[in-house]
Structure 1
Amino acid sequence: MSRTLEQKIQHLYWLKSIGIDYYCSETIVTHSNSSTKNLDNDNMTALQPSSPTTKESAAIQVATTNARINTGLSRSLTSPRNDVVPESLLQHAKTTESTPRNAEQAARHIANSVTTLEELKQSVLNFEGCTLKGFATNTVFADGNPNSQIMFIGEAPGATEDQKGIPFCGESGKLLDNMLACIGISRAVNAYITNTIFWRPPANREPTPEEISICKPFVEKHIALINPKLIVLVGSTAATSLLGKHAGISKIRQEYYSYTNQYLQKPIATTAIFHPAYLLRQPMQKKTTWYDLIKIQQFIAENRLLSQTYL
């Protein structure tokens, strides 16, 4: 195998480790009645092999081109020197992405053994089984009052959260704080906030099912240690990953559910709201979310979860 081809294959390992393996397909344009990528003529030309090639080489060419399109990777892959991926990242990617089941089992073993919130936090900080950690700046564990009776669980850290190590501290976090303040909830006083994923996915993409599964034991133990009376799932990823519902967030948010896991002694009332990042893109949905917040406020009052001072 030539050095150049070997380097390209190594680059593919790296690209897959940051979660864009679903772009690695030789079939880019689907049938006419299906949705297609919005590619310009130059990019479409780049997807076509310039000369007869093997299936392996075609897959490499397509994958690397789509990586540049979808994740903003601007490095040219035509030069062997530019193809080189740092060996530490490559080895980390190979080891982790090839054994997601082992990583999930390791996370479960750790979650089974911890008994305090501080132990769980240190375990997550030290955990090396999720590939995302190798590309994140910080582990984003939680924020707020751990003695709260209300727990908010979002999707994954964004760019600002990754830099500061605090969940929901960017623009969407500011909107969430304002939304909660309207119904007497503050993370500084009576709310606790975390995510289903502790590390930022590259380019703010959605977490993969494997990444969610690896982090899930920690999330389940996290919930049990906080033991809230109400869980509010923020966004579709959090709602579907914890409730196991196949319906979209638009339907899930209309109901209250009983959530349980192996660490809980009894179920916890759970509902969902639109993610504030979605509301920033779709401000017309803020009216719908306001009604959801009113329902949450009513639930809090009926179950005496907060002091009347904050309602």
Structure 2
Amino acid sequence: MNPSHPEHDVRADLISYLDFHVEAGVDAALDEQPHDRFGEAEAAPQRELAPPRRAAPDDASPFRRELPSREAPPKEPPRTYGNAASAKPGEAADDARARAAQMQSLEELEALLRGFEGCGLRFTAKNLVFADGNPQARVMFVGEAPGADEDRIGKPFMGRSGQLLDRMMAAIGLDRTGAYITNVVPWRPPGNRNPTPQEIAICRPFIERQIELANPELLVCLGAPATQTLTGTKDGILKARGRFYPYRLSDGREIKALATLHPAYLLRQPVQKRLAWRDFRMLKAALDGGR
């Protein structure tokens, strides 16, 4: 619409503009004047400790009365979010593993994650992104972490990469009724950054338990983070893809895990779709009993 048109809603455009930057991970606004952000952060607690200022009463006022003395309010302890802020390195992951092992169904595991405070990503994400598709399916797809669309909707692979994944599955006769889809990390990292090794370590017990409870015949690791987390390989995805790795469950059973390229990578590198097609043909052959 032409901005000069009388019906053009400038306010709606501004709100849409701000929403775009929020989704992109912008959390601070800059202006033309320089600011000492470190100095402001150090001075902030002193301002919080200062008692409220009162206007000096007029000595001549007939309404003046003596007020009881008030001490400065005690400093509040820093707010913590469970293990995310108070646990030592490794303790949050140990706590996650102990809790995940107690879950006897996918519903219990999802409820646990909704209340879990051991990963700081929970407090920056809008929604828990647990899974989509059919948990009784023979094949389970595992990606890295949700993006903006997934965070908004609360389901994995909902954006452009999800649409591409749907087309890739359709090419071998699959859809979301015949596949189970999830991520290693169930919360979106701010600004779509990569999850840190510590965040992956905390969330790893949950995806491992999710795989055990879903009990698929085949795993498909989408991208390097999922492949490295679940198979233990250190190879990059271009070297690791197109291979089946053994994935051992806690009861000693093994299932096959196929490494392939993440749909988001294929959107940036369309020429590599030929490699992904080879991998999906391997998946099709495995599902048909050819491997």
Determine which of 153, 160, 171 is the counterpart of 1:171: 160
Instruction: Give the 5 Å matches for 1:56-75.
Output: 72-75=26-29
Any stretches of 5+ residues in structure 2 without a counterpart?
Answer: 1-23, 46-74
2:139, 2:219 within 8 Å by CA — same for their partners in 1? Answer: yes
**Change in 2 beyond 3 A, CA 1:203/1:105:** same
Q: Distance in 2 between matches of 1:261 and 1:302?
A: 21
Instruction: Give the Cα–Cα distance (whole angstroms) in 2 for the partners of residues 136 and 81 of structure 1.
Output: 29
Which residue is equivalent to 1:4?
A: none
Q: Distance in 2 between matches of 1:233 and 1:105?
A: 24
Change (3 A) 1:79 1:231: closer
**Does residue 150 of structure 1 match 2:139?**
yes
Query: Where does residue 211 of structure 1 map in the other structure?
Result: 199
Report the secondary structure of 1:151's partner residue.
strand
- The code of the aligned residue for 1:167 comes to P
Letter paired with 1:297: K
Q: Is there any run of 5+ residues in structure 1 with no aligned partner, and where?
A: 1-69, 305-311
After superposition, what is the alpha-carbon deviation per residue over 1:38-72, rounded to whole angstroms, capped at 9, x for unaligned?
A: xxxxxxxxxxxxxxxxxxxxxxxxxxxxxxxx965
Which residue in 1 is equivalent to 2:253? Answer: 266
Greater helix content: 1
Which of 218, 229, 246 is equivalent to 2:234? 246
Letter in 2 for 1:290: W
Q: What is the Cα-based RMSD across aligned positions, in Å? A: 2.7
Cross-structure match for 1:27 = none
3-state SS of 1:302 partner: coil
State the Cα deviation string for residues 168-211 of structure 1 (Å, max 9, x = none).
Answer: 00110000001100001111x21000100010001111111111
Amino acid at match of 2:253: K
Contact 2:131/2:180 (CA < 8 Å) preserved in 1? yes
Q: Deviations over 1:132-190 (max 9, x none)?
A: 00100000000000111100000000000000000000110000001100001111x21
8 Å Cα contact 2:93-2:203 kept in structure 1: yes
**TM-score, length basis structure 1:** 0.69
- What aligned pairs does 1:1-311 form with structure 2 within 5 A after superposition? 72-76=26-30, 77-78=35-36, 83=41, 91-92=79-80, 96-97=84-85, 99-187=88-176, 189-262=177-250, 264-302=251-289
Q: Secondary structure at the match of 1:91?
A: coil
Percent identical among aligned pairs is: 43
